[in-house]
A and B are shown apart, each in its own frame.
Chain A
Amino acid sequence: MSAIMPITQDVDTSAAPKQPKRRRLKTRDWAPYAFVSPFFVIFGTFGLFPLLFAVYLSFHTWDPAMGMGAMNWVGFENYEYILLSDDYFWKAMYNTFWLGIVSGLPQHLVGLPLAYLLHTVFGRMRNSVVGMYFLPFITSTVAISLVFTTLFSKDFGAINQLLVSMSKTPIIGWIFPAEKIDWSQPEYLKPMISFVVWWRYLGWNTVMYLAALQTISKDLFEAATMDGATRTQQFRHITLPLLKPMMFMTITFTIIGNIQLFEEPFIITGSTGGINQAGLTVAMHMYRTAFTDNDFGTAAAIAWLVFALIVVMTIINNKLLASKD
């Protein structure tokens, strides 16, 4: 990477032979600012301003249908309400963590070994195999959630049929349920949603780990083999430590993404949250507070609480994984 020098002087004297007393501003001086300005205009309007306005909003009660004049300053009341008496918020919080952990952890527990296998075992076919695992990530969440709803339907869904027929096989049959499972029941809804989320993001994590593995120099392993280190030892003492920065990055993305989990549960539960609200996530709760209850103040406060939570989780992750170097 070429070095980016801190620039203290913005004058390019080499091009102009004679420097006038008061330097004229040349196109070259302002052009870069003009070139990067679209980002700041767009981000300022549709990124930063909404974020800051959400803070302002979170200290008010407001129904947007009543116009700007109907905004009432209430201080921390919205936050108090959410934390102390909004039962759905805590339920949604619990669900979000449940789904986040059950769908997120296996993404890495499977993704990393999978990447390692693909890296060491597969040669020529690697790219097409990786492509298959990556495919779910690029497809429409809505379309795929609808397909899964079909596959998971109770009486005739392909998955129930497969599970029940597997239960009749000898030896391993006992693992599988003999009865059809009603996946919309609270105790099964969460595992189902987690499976869909896991299915969708496994490939992304695998690809990231694979990319990191490919940057590790082969010499390291050759040297280790010469010194008599076994495969397992090499994995533990060379591969894992060198993968740490990537683990930090992918886990950060998993945390940020899973705390905002919205589309999969929203579609799978038909935007209702499911029986007993077992599939209600915090992002869904915020959406509903704003657009169903028209309570924009409280919704903005939820958004900021969740933002704070994301920051805290990222810092914890940072402390745990990125402590060295």
Chain B
Amino acid sequence: MKPQTRRKTSLPILLAYVVIGFGCLLMLAPFWFMFVFATHSNTEILSVPPPVWFGTHFFANWVDLLGRLPAFWNNIGWSVYVAIATTIANLFFCSLAGYAFAMYDFRYKKLLFGFIMSTMMLPAFVGLIPTALIMSWLGWMDQPKALIVPGMVGAFGIFLMRQYIESAIPKELIDAARIDGCSEFGIYVRVVAPLITPAMGTLGLLTFIGSWNNFMGPLIVMRSMENFTIPLALRALQGTGQTPYGAISAGSAVAVLPLLILFMLASKRLISGLTAGAVKA
């Protein structure tokens, strides 16, 4: 009878707002406390009630952190280096393979693509131990390439790129470039790559975040403190006498802040990229 009941702010809808708002608080509170604690001394953090607004102790916490993790600047450097290198390699190899699957017809194409997709379901940790062995045989232990090379290309990236290229680039364009004498790789460089920057952005973000947060990988292959990435270095703060809550919070804030900034800039693209595969018709 009444077509527009949903516009009315009824009690259940008000309740829904309250519940969802409370949930938002629950999701954000740990981040808030992390940044607040990063600016307070241990005694302030451990007071009743705990601080809820920023203090003045960030610099002291940072000095404390550097005292406990003398190589923390190196650790930041390695994290940045590994994440950027992995991302660049990923963008190149995934888009190249995605281009092949989207624009070429070749024997065993379906089979190969199906195989790649099925690897997404493999639980990573089954191969964890042999991976450590391979790295030591290759002499890659304690070297950042042990983190970069295995992550250079991934099934999800190939899938994302194929979907995008298929929908965004008409095959005629490829044929036209070919008739104009463009080589196969030249077509990728001059025609395909410039047209898929939105998908590159999404995949780049996902890869960067994944690499930045990677903990298992460095845990297995990195041995010396100077070569740790940030997550691994942070873990070393644990369990030595009195827990340095201020320093831990400061370090965690450094680990999380770049992601928060990236997320604020591009959350929509990120989420749509992640769901792209899930809801394909």
With A36-B97, A143-B231, A153-B243 known, 4 other A-B pairs at CB within 8 A are A7-B107, A36-B158, A42-B152, A157-B50
Q: Is B249 part of the contact surface with A, judged by Cβ < 8 Å?
A: yes
Within 8 A of B (CB), among A95-135: 114, 117-118, 120-122, 127, 129-135
> Which among B3, B45, B239, B278 has the greatest number of chain A C-beta atoms within 10 A?
B278
- B97 with A39: CB separation less than 8 A: yes
- A143 with B256: CB separation less than 8 A: yes
- A203 with B27: CB separation less than 8 A: yes
Interchain CB contact (< 8 A) of A139 among B49, B100, B133, B256 = B256
Q: In the bound complex, how far is the Cα of B279 from the Cα of A290, in angstroms?
A: 39
Tell me the minimal C-beta distance from A267 to chain B in angstroms. 6
Interchain CB contact (< 8 A) of A42 among B122, B125, B133, B153 = B153
- A50 with B213: CB separation less than 8 A: no
- A147 with B30: CB separation less than 8 A: yes
Q: Is A300 part of the contact surface with B, judged by Cβ < 8 Å?
A: yes
Interchain CB contact (< 8 A) of A300 among B105, B124, B130, B136 = B130
Chain B residues within 8 Å of chain A by Cβ, number: 103
Given A7-B107, A35-B100, A121-B17, A225:B3 Cβ within 8 A? yes
Chain A residues within 8 Å of chain B by Cβ, number: 99
- A50 with B130: CB separation less than 8 A: yes
Chain A residues with CB under 8 Å of B28's CB are 132, 135
Q: Is A148 part of the contact surface with B, judged by Cβ < 8 Å?
A: yes
Q: Is B119 part of the contact surface with A, judged by Cβ < 8 Å?
A: yes
The 8 closest A-B pairs by CB, nearest first: A50-B127, A50-B130, A143-B252, A211-B275, A35-B100, A31-B184, A46-B150, A32-B104
Q: Is A212 part of the contact surface with B, judged by Cβ < 8 Å?
A: yes
Q: In the bound complex, how far is the Cα of B281 from the Cα of A212, in angstroms?
A: 10
- B270 with A147: CB separation less than 8 A: no
Q: Is A75 part of the contact surface with B, judged by Cβ < 8 Å?
A: no
Within 8 A of A (CB), among B15-65: 16-17, 19-20, 23-24, 26-28, 30-31, 33-34, 37, 45-50
Q: List 27 A-B contacts (CB under 8 A).
A: A7-B105, A10-B105, A31-B185, A32-B100, A33-B106, A35-B96, A35-B97, A36-B96, A36-B112, A36-B158, A46-B131, A47-B150, A50-B127, A50-B133, A131-B271, A134-B271, A139-B260, A140-B256, A141-B213, A141-B215, A150-B248, A151-B33, A207-B275, A246-B279, A267-B238, A270-B239, A307-B123
In the complex, per-residue mask of A205-238: 1 if CB is within 8 Å of any chain B CB, else 0: 0011001101100000000010000000000000
